[in-house]
Chain A
Amino acid sequence: MTDEALNLPPAFGMLPRRRNQLLVAAAVFAAIAVSPFAIKDVYLQNVLVLTLLYAAVSQSWNILGGYCGQISLGHALYFGIGAYATSVLFVTYGIVPWGGMLVGGILSAAIALLLGYPCFRLKGHYFSIATIVIAEIGLLLVHNWDFVGGALGIQWPFGSDSWATLQFARDKVPYIHLALALLAITWFVTFLIEGSRWGYWWRAVKDNPEAAESLGVEIFHSKMAAAAVSAFFTAIGGAFYASFLAYIDPESVMSFRFSLLFALPAVLGGIGTLWGPVVGAAILIPLTEITRSYLGGSGSGIDLIIYGGLIMLVALAKPEGILSLFQGKRQKAEGRS
C-alpha cells in the first residue's frame, strides 16, 4: 500500500521508496555500530574495519564511476593524497589527522577538478587508461620525493590512545565507528545525489545518449562536481587508512592494485546503485582476508586461484552485480502486488 493510496502527502517531498531506503540504511548502520559488542575478536574487527573502509571508498568511486559512467582506474591517486597529506601534516608539523583529512580531501577535490577538464573529453577506455597513467605518475613522483619520505615512507610515532590523533594501540572499536561514519556519510551523499537533478540527468543520459546533447554544459559541470566529490571522500578514506595503519609507503597506499580494489566492490555488488558497493565490499573483503589468512600461509597460490575464480564467477553469473539478485525478486514481488 502506498502513500498516494492513502492520500498522504509524501514526507519532505520524498518518495516512499526513498524513505524506506533511509530507514533500511539507518537500521543497517545502527546494527554495525553495535556489532563490536558481539564481535570481540580483534582479527574479525580488523576485517570489519577494512570492509567498511572499502565500502566507503567504493561508494565514493561509485559516484563518478557508477552514476556518471566515468570509469576511473586511478582513484589510488586520491587515496594516496589523503594518506600523505595527513601523514606529512601530522608527523612533520604536528597537525592532528582531522586537519590533514580535510586538507587532503580538499587537495584531492582540487586536483580532480584540474584533471577533469582535459580528461572528460576522453571516452571509454581512453579515459580509463588516462586515469591509470595519472595515478602512476603520482606514484612515481611520491616514490622520488624525499620530503614525503620517498620509498622509505612515513612512520607515525607511537603515542597514547587518543581521539585527537586517531591513534588506538589495541582497540579497533573506534576505527570501526570512524569507518562506519565515513560509509554512512558517503552513502547519504550518494543518496542525495541520486535524488537530485544530477541523478536525473545522468540516468537520462544513460537511457538516451541523445539527451546528453541537449543537456551538454550542465552534464559536463555535474561530472566535474561528481569527480570532486568522489575524490574528496576517497582522500578521506586514505587519511583514515594512514592513521589506522600508522605507517605508509608509496606502494602500500598508491599502487594500481588499490584503484582496482576501489572499483571492484561496486562492480561486484552492482555498479551505479546505492547498496552495490556495500554489498560488494561485504562479500569481497572478508573473502580476500580469510582466503589469505587461512590458505595463504601454505605458499601454494591456492588463495589466488579461489579469489580470482570467485571474481570471475560473479562477473559471469551475475553481470549486473550481486544486488540484481535481490532486485529481481523485489521487482517480481512489486509486480505481483
Chain B
Amino acid sequence: MNRRELLLAGVSAAAAGSLAYPGTSRAQAPKEVTIGVIYPMSGASAQVGIDARNAFETALDIINNDHQLDLVAAKGAGLAALGGAKIRLVFADHQADPQKGRAEAERLITQEKVSAIIGCYQSSVSATVSAVTERYGVPFLCADSSSPSLQRRNMKFFFRPAAQDEMFSAAMFDFFDAQKKKGKKIDSVGLFFEDTIFGVDSSNTQRKLANDRGYKIAADVKYRTNSPSLTAEVQQLKSADPDVLMPSTYTTDAMLLVKTMAELGFKPKNLVAQASGFSEQVTYDAVGDKLKGAITRASFSLDLAAKRPFIKTVNDMFKARSTRDLNDNTSRQFMGLLLLAEAINRAGSLEGPKVRDALAATDIPGTSTIMPWARVKYGPDGQNPEASPVLLQYLGDKFVTIFPSEVAIADAIWPMNG
C-alpha cells in the first residue's frame, strides 16, 4: 500500500466509522470492539509509527479472520465470546509529545469509546497516556515502552507483556558472566547513551548492574540526541577502549555512531546494544557492513520459527505489508494486540474494568506466542516477569540467537573485532 492509498484508506475508514453509527442500524450489526492505538505518526520517529501500524494491521488480520495457527487469538474469525465481533483499530498520532498523547487518549476513550489502548513507543508519552487510562478505568497495554519507572506507580490498568530495561540489561550482564566463565575477557564496559528518558533509564540500570557485578565502567558518555556529529564522543570511547561498548540510541544516532567509529578507526572489541536503533533494519541497510558480530538485546527472534512454524507465517504476512521482517518493536506491538484481543474475548465484555480483570487473570504459555517468553502472566504491578529477553548477534546477513542457552542456536562470536 503506498502513501496515497494508505491515506485514502484512512479517510474512508473514518467515513465508514462515522456512517456506521446512526443509532438504529447499530443494534443489528455485529458488535464491534474498538481499540485505540497511539503512536508517533509524524515527526522524527514517524517511521516507528508507520511500522507499528503495519504490525497492528497484521495482528488485526489474524484476529478478525480465521487462521489455523497455534497462536493466541488466531483461530476463528473475530472474538467468539462476543458473537464473532470484529476488532476495529483507531490510530492516533502523538508526535512524541506527552500532552498530545494524553489528549488523544482522552479523545479515544470519550469519543471512540475504546475498550483498551495500546501504545506508545516513547516512555514519556506512555507515562501520561497510562495516567489517563487509569483515571477512566480503561486498560492500557504498554507494548514497547521499556522504562522501568512506568510500572512503579501502583496502577491497576497498566499491563506490560514484554520485558523492561532492567530485565533486558540483566540479560546482558548474565551473558557477560557466562562468557567470563568460559574464560573470555570482559573486564570493562563503555556506556554510550542519549539524553532522553530511554537513554538515561537504560544507562542507570546498566551502571548499577556493572557496579554490582564487578565490571569497570571505562566510559560513561551521555550525548545530545540528533547531534550533527559524534566525533568527540567517539573519540572518548576510542580512548577508553572498553571490552564491551553498550549503546542505548535511537536509529539516527545509531547510524551516525557506527559511521563515526569507522571514520575514526575505532573498532570496539564487542558491541552489545540496548536494541532500539540497533534492531532497525534501516541501520543494518546503511552500516551493516561495519556491524558484523554486533549483539543486540531483543524481545524476538526469527530463529524461533524452527520450533514454532507459525512465526514464519506471521512474519510473511507482516513482510507483505511492510517489506521488512518483524523486529524487536514490531513483534512486541503485534503480540500486544493479540494478547489484548484474547483478554477481551475472555472478558466477554467491552467494559474497561472487566477487560482489566481478564488481563490480570491472563496465563498463557509462551509457546502460543511468537515471542521467546516463558509465559504471559502479569504481576500485581502489571509487568509480565516471565518475558525472557534474548540476545541476537548479527552475522552480516542475518541475526542468530546466542543467549540464553535454552533458545540459543549458536555460540557467540566473541570478541567481535579481535
Contacts and interface: CB of A to CB of B under 8 A. Distances in A.
Q: Do chains A and B touch in the complex (CB under 8 A)?
A: yes
Interface stretch (B123-131, B239-247, B357-365, B371-379): B123-131
Interface stretch (B197-205, B285-293, B340-348): B197-205
Nearest to A47: B103
B181 interface: no
B98 A169 contact: no
A170 interface: yes
A299 B50 contact: yes
Given A170-B135, A300-B6, A302-B7, A43 B110 contact: yes
A292 B110 CA distance: 17
A297 B10 contact: yes
Contact of B106 (A43, A143, A303, A304): A43
A301 B42 contact: yes
Nearest to B196: A151
Interface residues of B, number: 47
A41 interface: yes
Interface stretch (B88-96, B251-259, B273-281, B408-416): B88-96
B227 interface: no
B7 A249 contact: no
Contacts of B97: 252
Given A152-B200, A245-B102, A298 B92 contact: no
Interface in B213-228: 222, 224
Given A155-B127, A169-B135, A297 B6 contact: no
Contacts of A320: none
A297 B103 contact: no
Given A247-B98, A297-B93, A302-B7, A144 B41 contact: no
Contacts of B135: 169-170
B99 interface: yes
A161 to B, nearest CB: 10
Nearest to B53: A299
Contact of B128 (A144, A245, A251, A296): A245
Interface in B112-162: 124, 127-128, 131, 134-136, 149, 153-154
A46 B104 CA distance: 10
B41 A299 contact: yes
A260 to B, nearest CB: 14
A42 interface: yes
A293 interface: yes
Given A43-B107, A293-B107, A152 B201 contact: yes
B49 interface: yes
Contacts of B49: 299
Interface string A35-53: 0000001110011001000
Contact of A299 (B11, B14, B42): B42
B111 interface: yes
Nearest to B90: A297
Contacts of A143: 195, 224
B168 to A, nearest CB: 17
Interface in B72-102: 90-93, 95-100, 102
B394 to A, nearest CB: 28
Contact of A152 (B102, B106, B111, B149): B149
Interface string A225-260: 000000000000000010001110101100000000
B50 A293 contact: no
A150 interface: yes
A151 B201 CA distance: 9
A153 B126 CA distance: 13
Contacts of B90: 297
Contacts of A301: 42, 46
A153 B42 CA distance: 23
Contact of B91 (A151, A155, A170, A298): A298
Contacts of B111: 41, 43
Given A298-B41, A299-B46, A158 B131 contact: yes
Given A249-B98, A292-B93, A300-B6, A153 B197 contact: yes
A297 B91 contact: yes
A294 B11 CA distance: 9
Nearest to B8: A298
Contact of B131 (A153, A246, A249, A293): A246
Contacts of A41: 110-111
Interface in B271-307: none
Nearest to A298: B10
A303 B49 CA distance: 15
Contacts of B110: 41-43
A294 to B, nearest CB: 7
27 contacts: A41-B110, A42-B107, A144-B195, A151-B197, A152-B197, A153-B124, A153-B197, A158-B131, A158-B134, A170-B136, A245-B98, A292-B93, A294-B14, A297-B90, A297-B92, A298-B6, A298-B10, A298-B91, A299-B41, A299-B46, A299-B49, A299-B91, A300-B6, A300-B7, A300-B10, A303-B93, A304-B42
Closest 10 CB pairs of A and B: A296-B93, A297-B91, A299-B41, A298-B10, A43-B107, A169-B135, A42-B110, A151-B200, A299-B50, A300-B7
Given A155-B127, A252-B97, 20 more contacts: A41-B110, A43-B106, A140-B224, A143-B224, A150-B195, A151-B196, A152-B200, A155-B149, A169-B135, A247-B128, A249-B98, A296-B41, A296-B92, A296-B93, A296-B95, A300-B3, A300-B6, A301-B42, A301-B46, A302-B7
